[in-house]
């Protein structure tokens, strides 16, 4: 049996990643108000049956059994559907089509989960890509060489930032008290949102808590301005606090929280056939679930059985995720050179650096390439072909309406892009600025519209400046559309000319003020 975590690691993980696998809102079921109600239902069911044990099939675990740790979350519907439940059984398609057995085990306690994974009690464990540096970084964990080999899903609506009266955009959070479970996907969500508002993590007063239930509780009772919570506590908490509202969710911030499966490098190398079959079967399940609504009903039944909730609740758990198929995995693991969206490497690398800045990690984690195993995805390329296995298409936007020009922004980010006098063509330096300042934001908020406002100083004709500023904003949109394959209808183009000067520079009174007013502003709008 492998060595268990050291006392330091237990302490570190307890403080650092308690609740990390909470992405999407149903992780750590016991940590949410909604989950507590479901737990009561489960206890009632146990009392009725007189037993807490799941009925066994007669199949015994052996070297031909893949034991997979899960947390309470609707993202695992495809695996449960393909396995015909959580237990190994003769009807499992993993067994019938690939010749091995699968057992899914729920463990929401991350300390227990990690110790069990180290001790080879679990072959495969679950994490979020943004938090994975906290597993690959510490030496006494990294010695087991955890490797991510499959993306399971994206959170789509299960995570949210809620705010109190007077806060209307992420920009308004500057100087405010924000409750966050640290570090966790909630922290990642906040950091990414602040980036879209040209704010740093240090620009808000972070009130640290250990889990999202406490975040919702503090939002209700304490002197705080905002909180990052999971659904349905976003709705429940804002209903309890007059004047409060949901500022944003992962429906708009759609490519931030990604769940992954990982295993030890030694296990992956020694069990390639099993891992390849597990990946291939899971991808088949995703394709079938998307193709036929009745299959989703079947998946909900197994999700309900495993997590001891009602089928409607199970369906709700699955509705806040996007199950990633084979094409999505190819993109996520950086194997499609044409893909310009959010990759696992983007999330992993960004948060590896951020955890050091915030003091949650001593050093940056090893590079993404050393923390992944792409063998199963590569093997799938030959078999998982055709439209059913294609990657998620970028959201198609309708042409923006007039209301989009005045709709309130989720976040605004001013970026100084230098144009030659009277010109609207982008030079190479300007393109680099756009790449660095906004490309990542557009990937994270892939489901939100982008309003681009061009502004000028007051030199020259007002009418000419208005048209020039519009052309400059359009040039920025055209570059983003061509370079990052963004739907042109996603952009709302506005030319303000000199009519919206920066506060304190209303008169363009000096060259510094004129330079500030010659800005391009990116604004995110909920579609």
Q: Which domains are assigned to the chain?
A: 62-153+256-389 (3.40.190.10), 159-249 (3.40.190.10), 402-525 (3.30.1330.60)
Percent of the chain with pLDDT over 70: 89
Give which of 516, 416, 498 is closest to 457, Cα–Cα: 498
Q: How far is CA 465 from the centre of its chain?
A: 40
Q: Please tell me the distance from the alpha carbon of residue 95 to that of residue 83, in angstroms, as a whole number.
A: 8
Q: Residue 405 to residues 246, 369, 466: CA-CA distances in angstroms?
A: 22, 42, 15
Q: Residue 65 to residues 21, 85, 90, 108: CA-CA distances in angstroms?
A: 24, 15, 13, 21
Q: What share of the chain is helix, strand, coil (3-state, %, to 5)?
A: 45, 15, 35
Q: Nearest-5° angle of CA 299, CA 304, CA 305?
A: 100
Query: What DSSP designation does 436 have?
Result: I
Q: Residue 474 to residues 148, 453, 478, 481, 521: CA-CA distances in angstroms?
A: 40, 9, 6, 10, 12
pLDDT tens, position by position, 287-332: 999 999 899 999 999 999 999 999 999 999 999 999 999 999 999 9
Q: Terminus-to-terminus CA distance in the chain, angstroms? A: 52
Are the beta carbons of 521 and 453 closer than 8 angstroms?
yes
pLDDT tens, position by position, 435-483: 999 999 999 999 999 999 999 989 999 999 999 999 999 999 999 999 9
Tokens of 20: 């990390």
State the pLDDT at residue 484: 92
Q: Which residue has the higher pLDDT, 63 or 373?
A: 373
Reported confidence tier of residue 60, pLDDT bands at 50, 70, 90: low
Longest Cα–Cα distance in the chain: 84
Sequential DSSP letters for 140-159: HHHTT-EEEEEEEEEESSSE
Reported confidence tier of residue 230, pLDDT bands at 50, 70, 90: confident
Phi, psi at 434, each rounded to 5° = -65, -45
Q: What is the pTM of this model?
A: 0.85
Q: What is the mean pLDDT of the chain?
A: 88
Give which of 349, 486, 481, 502 is closest to 412, Cα–Cα: 502
Query: What DSSP designation does 520 have?
Result: E
Reported confidence tier of residue 158, pLDDT bands at 50, 70, 90: confident
Q: Which residue has the higher pLDDT, 198 or 14?
A: 198
Give which of 383, 377, 389, 384 is closest to 287, Cα–Cα: 389
Reported confidence tier of residue 184, pLDDT bands at 50, 70, 90: confident
State the pLDDT at residue 415: 87
Q: Please tell me the distance from the alpha carbon of residue 30 to that of residue 13, in angstroms, as a whole number.
A: 19
Q: How far is CA 44 from the centre of its chain?
A: 34
Give which of 263, 393, 254, 252 is closest to 327, Cα–Cα: 393
State the pLDDT at residue 182: 85
| Helix (H), strand (E) at residue 268 | helix 265-270
Q: How far is CA 277 from the centre of its chain?
A: 26
pLDDT tens, position by position, 18-54: 344 444 333 333 333 334 443 444 444 434 434 334 3
pLDDT at 58 over 70: no
Count CA within 13 A, CB hemisphere, residue 419: 24
Count CA within 13 A, CB hemisphere, residue 377: 23
Q: Please tell me the distance from the alpha carbon of residue 137 to that of residue 364, in angstroms, as a whole number.
A: 7
State the pLDDT at residue 108: 86
State the pLDDT at residue 171: 97
pLDDT at 283 over 90: yes
State the pLDDT at residue 254: 95
Q: How far is CA 275 from the centre of its chain?
A: 24
């Amino acid at each position: 049996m492998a060595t268990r975590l050291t006392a330091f690691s237990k302490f570190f993980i307890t403080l650092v990643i308690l609740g990390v696998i909470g992405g999407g809102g149903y992780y750590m079921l016991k940590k949410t108000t909604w989950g507590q109600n479901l737990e009561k239902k489960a206890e009632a069911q146990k009392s009725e049956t007189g037993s807490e044990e799941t009925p066994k099939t007669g199949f015994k675990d052996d070297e031909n059994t893949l034991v997979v740790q899960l947390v309470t979350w609707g993202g695992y519907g495809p695996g449960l559907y393909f396995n015909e439940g959580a237990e190994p059984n003769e009807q499992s398609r993993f067994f019938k089509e690939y010749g091995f057995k699968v057992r899914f085990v729920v463990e929401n306690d991350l300390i227990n989960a990690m110790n069990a994974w180290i001790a080879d009690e679990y072959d495969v464990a679950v994490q979020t890509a943004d938090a994975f540096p906290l597993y690959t970084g510490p030496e006494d964990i990294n010695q087991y060489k955890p490797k991510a080999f499959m993306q399971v899903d994206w959170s789509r609506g299960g995570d949210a930032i809620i705010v109190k009266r007077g806060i209307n955009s992420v920009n308004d959070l500057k100087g405010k008290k924000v409750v966050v479970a640290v570090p966790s996907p909630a922290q990642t969500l906040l950091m990414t949102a602040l980036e879209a508002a040209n704010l740093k993590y240090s620009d808000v007063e972070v009130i640290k808590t250990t889990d999202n239930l406490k975040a919702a509780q503090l939002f209700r009772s304490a002197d705080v301005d905002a909180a990052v919570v999971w659904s349905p506590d976003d709705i429940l908490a804002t209903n309890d606090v007059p004047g409060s509202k949901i500022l944003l969710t992962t429906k708009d911030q759609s490519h931030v929280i990604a769940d992954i499966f990982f295993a030890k490098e030694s296990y992956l190398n020694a069990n390639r056939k099993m891992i390849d079959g597990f990946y291939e079967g899971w991808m088949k399940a995703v394709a079938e679930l998307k193709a036929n609504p009745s299959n989703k009903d079947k998946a909900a039944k197994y999700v309900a059985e495993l997590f001891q909730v009602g089928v409607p609740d199970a369906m709700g758990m699955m509705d806040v995720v996007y199950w990633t198929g084979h094409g999505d995995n190819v993109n996520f693991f950086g194997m499609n050179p044409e893909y310009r969206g959010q990759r696992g490497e983007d999330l992993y690398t960004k948060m590896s650096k951020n955890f050091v800045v915030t003091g949650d990690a001593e050093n940056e984690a090893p590079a993404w390439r050393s923390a992944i195993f792409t063998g199963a995805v590569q093997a799938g390329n030959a078999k998982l072909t055709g439209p059913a296995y294609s990657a998620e298409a970028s959201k198609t936007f309708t042409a923006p309406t007039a209301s989009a020009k005045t709709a309130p922004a989720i976040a605004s980010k001013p970026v100084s892009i230098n144009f030659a006098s009277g010109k609207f063509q982008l030079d190479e330096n300007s393109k680099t600025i756009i790449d660095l300042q906004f490309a990542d934001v557009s990937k994270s908020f892939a489901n939100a519209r982008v309003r681009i406002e061009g502004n000028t100083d007051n030199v020259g004709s007002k009418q000419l400046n208005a048209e020039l500023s519009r052309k400059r904003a359009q040039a920025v949109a055209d570059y983003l559309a061509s370079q990052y394959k963004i739907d042109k209808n996603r952009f709302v183009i506005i030319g303000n000319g000199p009519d919206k000067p920066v506060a304190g520079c209303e008169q363009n009174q000096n060259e510094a003020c004129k330079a500030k007013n010659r800005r391009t502003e990116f604004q995110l709008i909920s579609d």
